[in-house]
């Protein structure tokens, strides 16, 4: 632990702010860890193409460095065969992190999708599960202030390490869906519950539930109720498939919930050269669609993106059922 500790953050007043510590960590790690420098050099070479879909836009990224994540085998048999790459003892020799409130460590992601991309993993090897960590999720967002968004990929919704609990953080404002969420023309207020507001978003090709409020306990309760309702509506035996995006600005939390009905789209499993390696996590659901293969970058168009969203996410009717089940 000591060898892997760059700094610590416990939320004390005398400590530097978490975003400042993370920026310092990134710059120092780029200098001391060649693997991270390579990852960020690759990020600078990413090709980007904007696709205009029906009522919204996405950015297609050709990022070959993300191949390992896109093809990650997440079945239990494959997981059992490989060492966990988020456990402290398996981290690269040069990698260090910020011990976050004793139970987590903030690490620089060596395969960044965005500038200043961090993974916040549990110190212990515990499964990727949101149960029991709602408060932690909200606290991380608050500690990152408004500079970063924090997100969570469910174990069957884009997490490449479903065996090790982790969140991620990326700079605010980089995902196209953030503009859609703030667009009053697309926001539909549904109801207030326990001091929080629930809304949904239209014309974005995928179902999104937005929870907002400034009361920490109320947000925790509402988010818990929505996830429980998703589990019932989607008939999930375990944690429902979902991606979560959280920000904290002006003393207010905003949590965007992306209910999922599938992990990967059918094009992911096509044979041979027909296969398209798009494995949606929160970043993809947020409108930055990563394509490690150049041939995919060249052929994927707005119609295919619309089809993928329709296949892996839920429709407006299901969103309404979830909200009604949470607060009848």
Mean pLDDT of the chain: 95
pLDDT higher than threshold 80 for residue 311: yes
**Can you give the pLDDT at residue 326?**
94
Interacting residues of 149 by C-beta distance below 8 A, sequence separation 6+: 141, 169, 170, 171, 172, 175, 178, 245, 246, 247
> Within 10 A of 308 (CB to CB), how many other CB atoms are there?
26
Contact call for residues 209 and 297 (beta carbons, < 8 A): no
Alpha carbon of 40 to those of 19, 106, 110, 113: distances in Å?
Answer: 19, 17, 8, 9
Compute the distance between CA of residue 115 and CA of residue 48 in angstroms, rounded to an integer.
Answer: 14
In a domain, 301, yes or no: no
pLDDT higher than threshold 80 for residue 73: no
Domain residues for 96?
5-264+308-326
In a domain, 74, yes or no: yes
How does residue 50 score in pLDDT terms, banded at 50, 70 and 90? very high
> Within 10 A of 301 (CB to CB), how many other CB atoms are there?
12
In a domain, 166, yes or no: yes
**Can you give the pLDDT at residue 70?**
80
Compute the distance between CA of residue 186 and CA of residue 23 in angstroms, rounded to an integer.
Answer: 34
pLDDT in tens, 203-240: 999 999 999 999 999 999 999 999 999 999 999 999 99
What CATH code is carried by the domain that includes residue 24?
3.30.428
DSSP state of 294: H
What stretches of the chain adopt beta strand conformation (E)? 5-9, 47-52, 57-62, 97-100, 104-108, 118-122, 148-153, 166-171, 187-193, 196-201, 209-213, 242-249, 252-259, 288-291
In a domain, 278, yes or no: no
How does residue 193 score in pLDDT terms, banded at 50, 70 and 90? confident
Compute the distance between CA of residue 258 and CA of residue 239 in angstroms, rounded to an integer.
Answer: 13
Q: Which of 221, 226, 229, 195 is nearest to 210 (CA)?
A: 226
Of the chain, the percentage scoring pLDDT greater than 70 comes to 100
Number of domains within the chain: 1
Q: Which residue has the tokens 């995902």?
A: 175
The full length of the chain comes to 328
What is the bridge-based pairing of β-strands 97-100 and 5-9?
parallel
In a domain, 289, yes or no: no
Mean pLDDT of 36-46: 95
In a domain, 303, yes or no: no
pLDDT in tens, 253-309: 999 999 999 999 999 999 999 999 999 999 999 999 999 999 999 999 999 999 999
| DSSP codes of every residue in 274-290 | G-------HHHHTTEEE
From its phi and psi, is residue 227 left (phi > 0), alpha (psi between -120 and 50) or beta? alpha
In a domain, 288, yes or no: no
Of the chain, the percentage scoring pLDDT greater than 90 comes to 91
- The angle at the Cα of 60, spanning 145 to 34, to the nearest 5 degrees, equals 65
In a domain, 179, yes or no: yes
pLDDT in tens, 125-173: 999 999 999 999 999 999 998 899 999 999 999 999 999 999 999 999 9
pLDDT higher than threshold 80 for residue 246: yes
Contact call for residues 315 and 260 (beta carbons, < 8 A): no
């Amino acid at each position: 632990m000591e060898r892997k500790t760059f700094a610590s953050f416990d939320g004390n007043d005398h400590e530097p702010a978490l975003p400042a510590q993370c920026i310092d960590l990134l710059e120092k790690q780029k200098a001391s860890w060649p693997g991270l420098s390579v990852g960020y050099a690759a990020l600078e070479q990413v090709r980007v193409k904007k696709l205009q879909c029906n009522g919204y836009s996405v950015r297609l990224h050709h990022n070959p460095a993300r191949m390992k994540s896109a093809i990650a085998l997440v079945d239990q048999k494959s997981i059992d065969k490989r060492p966990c790459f988020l456990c402290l003892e398996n981290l690269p020799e040069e990698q260090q992190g910020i011990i976050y409130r004793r139970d987590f460590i903030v690490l620089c992601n060596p395969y960044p999708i965005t500038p200043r991309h961090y993974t916040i993993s549990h110190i212990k090897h515990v499964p990727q599960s949101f149960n029991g960590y709602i408060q932690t999720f909200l606290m991380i967002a608050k500690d990152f202030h408004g500079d970063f968004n924090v997100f969570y990929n469910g174990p069957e919704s884009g997490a490449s390490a479903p065996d090790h609990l982790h969140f991620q953080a990326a700079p605010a404002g980089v995902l196209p869906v953030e503009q859609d969420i703030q667009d009053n023309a697309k926001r539909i207020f549904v109801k207030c519950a326990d001091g929080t507001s629930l809304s949904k978003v239209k014309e974005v090709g995928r179902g999104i539930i937005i929870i907002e409020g400034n009361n920490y306990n109320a947000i925790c309760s509402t988010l818990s109720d929505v996830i429980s309702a998703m589990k019932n509506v989607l008939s999930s035996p375990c944690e429902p498939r979902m991606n979560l995006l959280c920000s904290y600005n002006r003393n207010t939390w905003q949590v965007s919930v992306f209910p999922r009905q599938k992990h990967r789209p059918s094009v992911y499993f096509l044979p041979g050269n027909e296969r398209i390696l798009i494995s949606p996590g929160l970043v993809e659901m947020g409108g930055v669609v990563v394509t490690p293969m150049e041939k995919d970058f060249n052929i994927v168009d707005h119609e295919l993106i619309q089809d993928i969203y329709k296949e892996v996410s839920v429709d407006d009717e299901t969103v309404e059922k979830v909200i009604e089940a949470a607060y009848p």
